[in-house]
Structure formats: structure tokens, C-alpha cells
Amino acid sequence: MKEYLPTEIPREWIEELLDAAHWAPNHKLTHPWRFHVFSGEGRERLVGARQAAVRWAAKKKGEQTSEDALNFARAKCFSSPVVIIVSMVGDEKKITDQENYAACWCAIENLLVAATARGLGSYPSTGDWIDQNFVGPILGLTEKERPCGVHFLGVLRATDDGQAPARGAPYHLVYGGLSA
């Protein structure tokens, strides 16, 4: 979900979500994830990275960066009350690095499920500012670390009928060749 109320999320709730995340499976108990939490005016620190990614993408396409694109990048950083960027500790061994990345996304899933259980909306994302590591300097990442994803959290804005937006179609289960 992408539309949130400006309601502040209590620190205890964020800590609860991070605790759920840390229970994710990870090979050899490496706990390769790092959580970087931004809220309030702290989200301003993200604007430069997001706008740098917009400029980089425009330059790559041979285009000028529009003010609208830069304004959108700024607004995105403030689109939810809490922004959590998850980074990971990489490894020189390819298989271990892949396992660490997978473990980070397992931790992210735990975080997002805990957020839903808490009644919060969430929206995971990546994009150039994550994939090209424009956030690395802001997060203080070392050469062995890289960002995995950014996660927007908040209280969902209700629809016109006062209900939280639907999450999409329910799943279709096929078990043992029989549809349920």
C-alpha cells in the first residue's frame, strides 16, 4: 500500500517489527541484515540519495533531469511516517553472499508480516537509489555492505467508504492436484 496517514508510529512498534525480522532464517546464524530507520525530519537525509539516483537515471538516458522528477523524489522520502532501509553484509564467496541476500529478504518478510499484524501498511521497494547504492554514504555502509531494499511503513489511508484498501485477489490453492 502506498497511501499513509501522517500518524507517528511509536518506537516500541518499530522495535517489535525489528525483533520479528531478526528471527528470520539465516545460514550459519550470520544475521547479515542491518536496519536503518528514518522518521520525522530524519527522512530529509534520504532526499539527496533519491535525487542523485533520479539525476543518474536521466543522464543514463541522455535526458535532462526535470524539477518534477526531483520534487517527486523528495516527496517519496516523506510519503510514509517511517522508512526502513535494509542493508546486508556481503561475502566474497558467491554462495554465501546469495544466502545472505536471501536471509535479508526473509527478515524483510518477517518485518512486513509483523507490520500487517500490527495494522500497519507497508510497501517494499528497490530502484536505482538502492540498486546503485546511492544510499550507502548516508547509511555509512562499508565496502562489504550493500542495500537490499527500502520499506515504507505507516497507518493506511482509508478509502472513500472508510475501509482500508484491499490487498488484491485471494490466493488460489492447488493441493494434490485438487483445487480448493
Give the H/E segment covering residue 142.
none
Range of the domain at 65: 11-179
Question: How far is Cα 16 from Cα 39, in angstroms, rounded to an integer?
Answer: 16
Residue 3: inside a domain? no
- Count of the separate structural domains present in the chain: 1
Q: How far is CA 144 from the centre of its chain?
A: 20
List per-block mean pLDDT (blocks of 10 residues) for the chain, which spans 180 residues: 86 97 93 96 96 97 97 96 96 96 97 94 92 95 95 83 56 55
Question: What's the rounded Cα separation, in Å, for the pair 159 and 83?
Answer: 23
Name the grid cell of 114.
509483523
Q: How many CB atoms lie within 10 A of CB 54?
A: 23
> Quick check: pTM over 0.85?
yes
Whether 16 maps to a domain, the answer reads yes
| CA nearest neighbour of 30 among 86, 102, 126 | 102
Which CATH number does the domain housing residue 92 bear? 3.40.109.10
pLDDT number for residue 1 = 46
Question: Is 2 a domain residue?
Answer: no
